[in-house]
Amino acid sequence: MSCDYPLQLVMHRYNAARRSVKEFERSFAAALALLRECTLSSSTIPVPPMDSSDSPALRLAQELSAPVAEVDGRRIAPMLCAQDDSAARILAEPAYLFELKLDGVRIVADRRDHQVSLTYRKIRDATESYPEIAEAIAKLPEPRVVLDGEIIAFDEAGKPSFERLGQRIQLSGVAAKRAVAKVPVVYVVFDVLALGDRDLRALSIEARKEILERLLSSAPGANAAKDALVRLHPTFNDGRMLWSFCCEHGLEGVVAKRRGSVYRTGERAVDWVKIKRALDADFVIVGWVEGEGSRSRLGALDLAAYEDERLVLRGSVGSGLDDRTISTLLERLVAMEVGEAVAEGSYAKARRRHHARPEIVASVSFAGYSTKKLLRHPVFRGLRPDVDPRDCTAAPFTIRSST
């Protein structure tokens, strides 16, 4: 089902042309300031659920004839971005809306009254890793909602940092609660998939964003520090200005979303396109080599990516691995060790190499590919438990620098 809701009737400030990149810069800094002020105690102030008759977000969903249907966010694989090499063309294209590309983990949040579930993109539960986010969502005025967004952490300069977030990804239980103050995070929401008894995925992206803005702006104290854990992701009409902002501040890139597009669950659709400022990608860890000196336990990780059904070697990475990460990895890799290589390709000579089942995904930044399709100057960024190994398909012909 598609929605023919006229774009001129959407009228949401979220996407207004008057919102400039300078305004975004100020709001980004303000969001960071609010994030730094957040505490668990302030985020637990109760907010009574809003009666559906008083909900401007639900009223709009009903007016747009969103179908009545059950949407289980705990079992939804989110819509993913394609990547396009014609960055300049897309950035200047009026048929798209533009968002800042966040350097975090994708999370679908499902709220049912006071029960909240957070789910990674490969449908693995993440609720215990981010207890403060679950608490904050439970305090939103709508008792039934499914949201899509990213959980991010900020570095000292106020920029999203996946490396910093990596300290939270593997934690759960008591360890996760202890990390709340040490590594604060925020949930940046850019889509809403269900509200009340309504399935919103067949509505246009403009309509969904208007519903989302009404939902978050209707929360009592929405602009106060206590509510900074759940933030609305701003959208822009001018992709070139946002791109310039990214380049100036060293941010990851831009996501372009086609106007009028619907939400395609689990698909990597061309309606959403990511335009990255630098090269980074996800790779499957297929083994490790022992190093020397302080790195004798693990000197480097062997990495691979899928080409159709074939797992192909893409090289190895040693830079960026610290002692804590090495210990975490070895605890898992030793149990996954196998007797022979699982990826095709010519492995570099090593003092001692161990092969492992292709089950762990790593995020890696790099300078490009060699003529042998191996990574040049790779640096380990962190583990990606939210990514399915078979989604790792990085290759010279699919990942290109857009600078």
DSSP string, 191-202: EEEEETTEE-TT
Sorted by where each starts, the structural domains of the chain and their CATH numbers stand as 7-276 (3.30.470.30), 280-391 (2.40.50.140)
Q: What distance in Å separates the CA atoms of residue 314 and residue 303, rounded to the nearest whole number?
A: 6
How far apart CA 51 and CA 143 sit, in angstroms, is 9
Beta strands 115-120 and 144-152, pairing class = unpaired
- Looking at 300-304, 346-350, 393-397, which range is the least confident one? 393-397
In degrees to the nearest 10, what's the CA dihedral of 142, 147, 149, 154?
A: 30
Please determine, for residue 205, whether its predicted confidence score (pLDDT) is greater than 50.
Answer: yes
Asked if the model's pLDDT at residue 397 lies above 60, the reply is no
Region 24-50 average pLDDT: 40
Residue 113 has pLDDT above 80, yes or no: yes
pLDDT for 18 equals: 29
For residue 188, the model assigns a pLDDT of 94
What band does 342 get if pLDDT is binned at 50, 70 and 90? very high
What distance in Å separates the CA atoms of residue 22 and residue 236, rounded to the nearest whole number? 11
- Structural contact between residues 262 and 193, judged by C-beta atoms closer than 8 angstroms: no
Q: Say yes or no to pLDDT of 337 above 60.
A: yes
Average pLDDT, the chain: 82
pLDDT digits (tens, 9 = 90+) for 41-94: 223 233 344 454 568 999 999 999 999 999 999 999 999 998 665 666 899 999
Residue 44's pLDDT is 29
pLDDT of residue 98: 95
Mean pLDDT for the stretch of residues 124-142: 93
- What pLDDT band is residue 218 in, cutting at 50, 70 and 90? low
Cα–chain-centroid distance for residue 108?
Answer: 10
Closest listed residue to residue 140, CA positions, set 200, 206, 70, 217: 217
pLDDT exceeds cutoff 70 at 189: yes
Instruction: Quick: pLDDT tens for 298-315.
Output: 999 999 999 989 999 999
40, 132 Cβ separation under 8 angstroms: yes
Question: Residue 247 is encoded by which pair of tokens?
Answer: 């380049």
Confidence (pLDDT) at 261 = 96
* pLDDT for res 41: 26
pLDDT tens digits along 149-184: 999 998 887 888 888 898 898 888 898 899 898 999
Q: How far is CA 201 from the centre of its chain?
A: 19
Q: Is there a contact between 333 and 286 (Cβ–Cβ < 8 Å)?
A: no
Percent of the chain with pLDDT over 90: 55
